[in-house]
């Protein structure tokens, strides 16, 4: 097993944790925010939110030139606190949610893959998390 670098990103979402959890885990919401840039989108999303359950998000270029399924199997699901999963390529992801008055802190850690530079991966995942924050705060 290779030793992968862990990358951590975070955002403070100005919304109560119940709303943040719903928007993070409900596939209808995921389709609205799960993209790193406006030229990408998530046309389909499925989420079986339980240990051993699977999620699959189809990520696609809006021009139809490219798409792929981003998927994983849940390891731990603690309601409104923690989600950990193993991605299809065996990388680990952990997402921690913590309530702070009328806001929610999200801290996401994931194993870097070896196809793209670490900073590019950090920027891409942070862009998706920022998109989530903006979508959640404006709906």
The token duo for 11 is: 């955002």
Q: Looking up tokens 């009328």, which residue turns up?
A: 102
Give residue 3's pLDDT. 66
Domains in the chain: ranges and CATH: 6-36+74-138 (3.30.530.20)
Whether the pLDDT of residue 29 is over 60: the answer is yes
- Mean of pLDDT values over 25-42: 97
Alpha helices in 13-117 (DSSP H): 17-25, 27-33
Give residue 2's pLDDT. 53
**pLDDT tens per residue across span 3-19:** 689 999 999 999 999 99
pTM exceeds 0.85: yes
Q: What is the dihedral of CA 125, 127, 130, 136, to 10 degrees?
A: -90
The token duo for 114 is: 């070896």
- Mean of pLDDT values over 105-111: 98
β partners of residue 46: 56
- Mean of pLDDT values over 107-136: 97
Model confidence band, residue 132 (pLDDT cutoffs 50, 70, 90)? very high
Whether the pLDDT of residue 1 is over 80: the answer is no
Give residue 4's pLDDT. 81
Q: Looking up tokens 């339980």, which residue turns up?
A: 50
**pLDDT tens per residue across span 41-95:** 999 999 999 999 999 999 999 999 999 999 999 999 999 999 999 999 999 999 9
- Mean of pLDDT values over 113-137: 97
């Amino acid at each position: 097993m290779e030793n992968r670098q862990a990358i951590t990103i975070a955002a403070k979402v100005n919304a109560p944790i119940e709303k943040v959890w719903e928007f993070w885990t409900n596939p209808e919401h995921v389709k609205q925010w799960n993209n790193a840039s406006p030229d990408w989108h998530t046309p389909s999303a499925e989420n079986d939110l339980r240990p051993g359950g699977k999620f699959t998000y189809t990520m696609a270029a809006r021009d139809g030139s490219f798409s792929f399924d981003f998927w994983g199997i849940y390891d731990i699901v603690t309601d409104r606190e923690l989600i950990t999963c193993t991605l299809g390529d065996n990388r680990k992801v952990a997402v921690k949610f913590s309530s702070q008055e009328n806001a929610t802190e999200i801290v996401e850690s994931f194993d870097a893959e070896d196809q793209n530079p670490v900073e590019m991966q950090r920027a891409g995942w942070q862009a998706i998390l920022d998109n989530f924050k903006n979508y959640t705060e404006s709906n």
